[in-house]
Amino acid sequence: MSESQRPGRYPRTATGLLGAMIVIVLGVLVVVGFMSLFREDTEVEPEAVDYLEIVGAAQDADLQPAYPAELPEGWIARRAEVTPDERPDFDLALLTDDEEFVGVVWTDEDLDDLLADRVDDEDVEDADPLTVSESVASEWQGYADPGGDRAYAAEVGDRTVLVYGSASEEDLAGVVSSLTTAPLAR
């Protein structure tokens, strides 16, 4: 039997290999496209952190950060951290039930630097102050930027507390009203 008469043999070429690869890629794309027709869009929920655990750890380290005693229904803490500086800061990021941002910072950083960093680089203006009876401070200076971000700042001891974000004025005022430095009951 000669070599040209062997069963199952065919000429192998680079063009044939390229053609086979194109057919396989098209097949995979058709399968993925077909599967996407029956897949529901999944909504990814933001992951919450236990900010009170971080507050407790800060208090164990003899710090007294200002923090919200509790969060309104549907709100979550997205991030809570104490910076490992010589004079540690407390930084808390919250999301409202409408997924608007509220931040709380307890720091010895200069207020102008805080406003430039957290609210707006250039266009922060004075806004109406806020007076509250149940908080770490009763008088809060108001700030706003043209984009709709707001902030309230007060001196608490030798530290600055800044509450800021894109949430409504009422939500920010609610956070300001709920701030405390009280030791956690554990």
What is the per-residue pLDDT across 21-31, written as a single tens digit (0 to 9) for each? 899 999 999 98
Whole-number pLDDT of residue 82? 93
Q: How far apart are CA 163 and CA 88, in angstroms?
A: 18
Q: Are 176 and 132 in contact (CB under 8 A)?
A: yes
Whole-number pLDDT of residue 164? 96
Whole-number pLDDT of residue 123? 82
pLDDT at 151 over 80: yes
Q: How far apart are CA 134 and CA 127, in angstroms?
A: 21
pLDDT at 69 over 70: yes
pLDDT at 4 over 60: no
Instruction: Tell me the mean pLDDT in the region 146-167.
Output: 93
| Cα dihedral 89/162/155/51 (nearest 10) | -50
pLDDT at 44 over 70: no
Domains and CATH numbers, the chain: 3-36 (no CATH), 51-180 (3.30.200.100)
Q: Greater confidence, 164 or 157?
A: 164
Q: What is the mean pLDDT of the chain?
A: 88
pLDDT at 104 over 90: yes
Round the CA-based radius of gyration of the chain to a whole number and report it. 29
Q: How far apart are CA 151 and CA 65, in angstroms?
A: 18
| Cα dihedral 22/25/31/35 (nearest 10) | -140
**In which residue are the tokens 């680089």 written?**
121
Tell me the pairing of strands 101-107 and 125-131. unpaired
